[in-house]
Structure 1
Amino acid sequence: MEPLAHRITIDRNSPVPLYFQFAQQLQDLIEAGELPPGTRLNNEIAMADQFGLSRPTMRQAMQHLVNKGLLARKRGVGTQVVTNRIRRQLEFTSLHEDLERDGRRPRTQVLSVETVPAEGEIAAGLRLAEGTPVLALERLRFADDQPIALLHNFLPEGLIELTLEELAEAGLYQLMRQSGVGLSSAEQTIGARRATVAEAGLLGEVRGATLLTMTRIAYDGSGRPVEYGSHVYRASRYAFEMTVSAH
């Protein structure tokens, strides 16, 4: 592999901050696969000397990539390139379908399936009176044997019948379509928050790690809400993408 010094160039006459020049070029190498997951980098002091940058500048560059989920610092190991994040287009598909399409070997652990009374946002989203029974699903989704998302879904009672085996083997939307539920549109909101202790434990993250959040209300062809979803994703392994067009 060609030395890193031959593939990153710092332009001191550029108005672009030095830390960002270095970080952006290193990110390009990672995303192009030239620095595969598991690649160890020299310590920040050595790299600062190698590229003629101050140590605070190099530290800022490396932290920038740690925050983006491209590098990880591990005690006793140093700084390593981490597994590329799964990037998901905002489409009307399930996570299971997206992972299958990308060849990421989805696997599902069903944590619970129970009937509960609809409350608050769930009742409002499904247009049900509070206390109306709904089917509540909790699942842990894996990609390439790594936990990636914790999924909570709520369906109107009696909409479809599901078995634990079916939920473990297929995506929820696939099962809904097979049961004759025509999915037509959805409203969704993307956000971020800190992981709870329980979420961090299930997802293999440290307490307080940043999680991406998505809430989604799916509708059938008649405009009836047929699913309320509330999911959290590992920000270090996952990203949402969207295409914006001008009119």
Structure 2
Amino acid sequence: MKLSIDHSSPVPLHYQVEELLRNLIDSPDFSKGQLLPNEVDLAKQLAISRTTLRQAINKLVYEGLLVRKKGVGTWVAENRPLSTKSKNWLSFSQEMAARGIPIRNFELHISWVKPDPAIAEFFEIKKDKKVLKLVRLRGTTDGPFVYFESYFHPRVNLTGEEDFKMPLYEMLEQSHSIVAYKSQEEIGAILADDFIADKLEVDLHSAILYRKRFVFDQAERPIEYNLGYYKADSFTYTVESIRE
């Protein structure tokens, strides 16, 4: 089977390879349990590095679509998941679009700031190293219901000129070849202070949903530190888990 990708395309190579592998998995030639072509041969055929190839394979292994064993190779999983909702996560824009909810940006601000100690520690950078801060107040035509603060590792190489109206992780992948691969979250309830109460148009000391999200790339390096403040009567945070 002749396989190829478009090296002249603006779409990152690892993304093209990932889509190619997804199509292979769904093709009759690669039924469940079928070995994929050897990594060295496949990288040579696609004219890419093995690092780029492995980046794509790693994502599909993580999703449970492929299985890899040292000394054997990589093959299509025999028991592929019917749903990977517990492992696949989306940007806020993508999640709302999937639910058919039109979203409005009430505020969008970009600045360069010195990180506070928690952010500097997460990024493993010096406290005087400035990072890009993205602030967004978002909601529907009925009004705002979530306030986000995102901080990005300098390694991401954001300039501040990017289109932050796009779904965030889609923009990072298309513009900077950064794949948001893993998310860790802390969720709790807090009382709205003057600032958040004003932003979300709620009473002072109202209960709101507070979420920290720590985002990593495929090498498990930190790329984003995100804080979200949700209006409690307008938003329900649902977690789906699958027992295996």
Q: Would you tell me which structure has more strand in proportion to its own residues? A: 1
Select 1:170's aligned residue among 166, 173, 184: 166
Aligned length, in residue pairs: 158
4+ aligned runs moved over 6 Å, structure 1:
none
* Partner Cα separation in structure 1 for residue 88 and residue 207 of structure 2: 23
SS in 1 for 2:236: strand
SS of match in other structure, 2:171: helix
Counterpart of 1:217 in structure 2: which amino acid?
A: F
Cα shift at 1:92: 2.0
Partner of 1:223: 220
Instruction: Give the whole-Å Cα distance in 1 for the aligned partners of 2:108 and 2:117.
Output: 22
Q: After the TM superposition, which residues 83-102 of structure 1 pair with which residues of structure 2 at under 5 Å, given as runs?
A: 92-102=89-99
State the alpha-carbon separation in 1 of the partners of residues 139 and 174 from structure 2.
Answer: 23
In 1, are the aligned partners of 2:86 and 2:242 still within 8 Å (CA)?
no
Q: 1:241 is paired with a residue of what secondary structure?
A: coil
Q: 2:120–2:127: 8 Å Cα contact kept in structure 1?
A: yes
Could you tell which deviates more after superposition, 209-218 or 101-110?
101-110
Give yes or no for contact 1:139–1:150 (8 Å, CA) kept in 2.
Answer: yes
Residue pairs, 1:204-243, within 5 angstroms:
204-243=201-240
What is the deviation of 1:145? Answer: 4.2
Residue type matched to 1:96 in 2?
Answer: S
Q: How does 1:147-158 map to 2 (within 5 A)?
A: 147-157=144-154
Aligned equivalents of 1:203, 1:163: Cα separation in 2: 27
Per-residue Cα deviation, 1:163-203 (whole angstroms, up to 9, x for no partner): 37x22x32222211212111111111111100111211111
Q: TM-score, normalised by structure 1?
A: 0.59
The normalised TM-score by structure 2 is 0.59
For 1:191, give the aligned amino acid: G
Amino acid aligned to 2:205: G
Question: What's the offset of the Cα at 1:151?
Answer: 0.2
How many angstroms apart in 1 are the aligned matches of 2:183 and 2:119? 15
Identity across the alignment (%) = 22
Q: Is the 1:108–1:141 contact (alpha carbons within 8 Å) kept by the matching residues of 2? A: yes
1:140 — aligned with what?
A: 137
Instruction: Choose the corresponding residue for 2:159, options 158, 161, 164.
Output: 161
In the aligned structure 1, how far is the partner of 2:99 from the partner of 2:160?
26
Q: CA deviation at 1:216?
A: 0.8
Cα-to-partner distance string for 1:82-139 (whole Å, 9 max, x where unaligned):
xxxxxx9895211111111111111113342111112211111222222221101111
Please tell me the residue identity of whatever aligns with 1:178.
Q
Contact map agreement 2:86 2:241 (CA 8 A) in 1? no
Which residues of structure 2 form unaligned runs of 5+? 1-84
Contact 2:107 2:136 in 1 (8 A): yes
Judging changes above 3 Å, is the alpha-carbon distance between structure 1 residues 142 and 209 closer, same or farther for their aligned structure 2 residues? same
Q: What displacement does 1:143 show?
A: 2.4
Deviates more, 1:119-128 or 1:183-192: 119-128
SS in structure 2 of the partner of residue 141 of structure 1: strand
Unaligned runs of 5+ in 1: 1-87
Deviation, 1:153, is 0.2
**Higher RCO structure, 1 or 2 (CA under 8 Å, sep 6+):** 1
CA contact (8 A) 1:99 1:143 kept: no
Retained in 1: the 8 A contact 2:147–2:200?
A: yes
Larger Rg: 1
Structure 1 pair 103–246 and aligned structure 2 pair: CA distance change class (3 A): closer
Other-structure match for 2:6 = none
- In structure 2, what residue type is equivalent to 1:181? I
1:194·1:208 contact (CA, 8 Å) conserved in 2?
yes
User: 3-state SS of the aligned residue for 2:209?
Assistant: strand
- Correspondence for 2:181 among 181, 184, 191: 184
SS in 2 for 1:199: helix
